[in-house]
Amino acid sequence: MGAARVDLRELCALGGFFALRTSQDGTPPSGDGWPDDGDGRSGGGEGRSGGGETGAPLARLYAGDLTPLTLRVDIVVARHTPPERRVAASIAQLGLAARLWSIALGAAALCGGVPALDPERLHWSPGRTAPDDLWLDTGTGTGARLLPATAESIRETVQYAHLVPLADALRRDTPVSRRLLWGNAGSALAGAVRQLDEWARGAGHGDVAERAAVLAAELFAHPDLSGTVHGPGMRRNTCCLYYRAPRGGLCGDCVFDRPPGRPAN
């Protein structure tokens, strides 16, 4: 019997950060979000930037080819003009971490399984934004290969397979502290939980919200994520440095009440 599979188009209902395009033949999916399924439907290209990029497997980045990561950080530098490159590196890592957590946690809570986001099959286009930045080569069959809907599956497929090597790669491109990067990872996970909770309760699926909360609590018990957020609102205990960009500010879950160095009103 083959491995269980899941149709990731179900995640589109949760928003662009949860969506993941797929391909069965190793070629980039057609359309602006979802592959053409033969009835004229395609996903929305919300937030799309750049063009003509097919992306490359994240495994190449983790193996030492920093070209896509350097490009992504350069794009963030150009967009936000921060005084230090590490600010852009932090913003870039936070965005990709949010995508990975959202896909895995959303699938576990909504679809009953975690898609196997193998770095060799998960392609990243650094010049694009959600949902068109990532696509998964599922190989033969319909839908993505499914892992059990457990915190351990999410930890293996996101934290160990992606976030750990991503942090190593990022630190080769730009000096940035591991504590900040794990703080970003915790913030990204908390953001995925909040968005899932908001959608689930609004759609009358309280069971989805409950599953997401239970899974997240187990994930936050890991030493690398423990203490990255606190309280019922999951406010983070570090700062992503976005406030240091000229047009930046504080994120909604920031550890600071006001940007450091600025007087209170």
Distance in angstroms (rounded) separating the CA atoms of residues 192 and 220: 13
Residues facing 113 on adjacent strands: 148
Q: Where residue 198 falls among pLDDT bands split at 50, 70, 90?
A: very high
Note whether 242 and 255 are within 8 A (CB): no
Q: What percentage of the chain reaches a pLDDT higher than 90?
A: 72
pLDDT above 60 (res 69): yes
Mean pLDDT of the chain: 87
Please give the angle made by the CA atoms of 237, 191 and 156, to the nearest 5 degrees.
90
User: What DSSP line would sit under 3-35, residue for residue?
Assistant: PPEE-GGGGGGG-TTT--EEESSSSPPPSSSS-
Which of 233, 214, 237, 213 has the alpha carbon at shortest distance from 225? 237
Q: Measured between alpha carbons, how far is residue 117 from residues 59, 99, 101 in Å?
A: 11, 12, 11
- Range 48-63 average pLDDT: 74
Which of 72, 76, 106 has the alpha carbon at shortest distance from 88? 76
Residue pLDDT, tens place only, 136-183: 998 866 567 889 999 999 999 999 999 999 999 999 999 999 999 999
User: What DSSP line would sit under 140-181, residue for residue?
Assistant: SSSSEEEEESSHHHHIIIIIIIIIHHHHHHHHHHS---HHHH
Two tokens, residue 196: 């899932």
Tell me, what's the pLDDT at 34? 43
Classified as helix, coil or strand, 221 is coil
Q: Where residue 45 falls among pLDDT bands split at 50, 70, 90?
A: very low
* Gap between the terminal Cα atoms of the chain: 65
Which of 158, 153, 218 has the alpha carbon at shortest distance from 20? 158
Q: Do you know the residue count of the chain?
A: 265
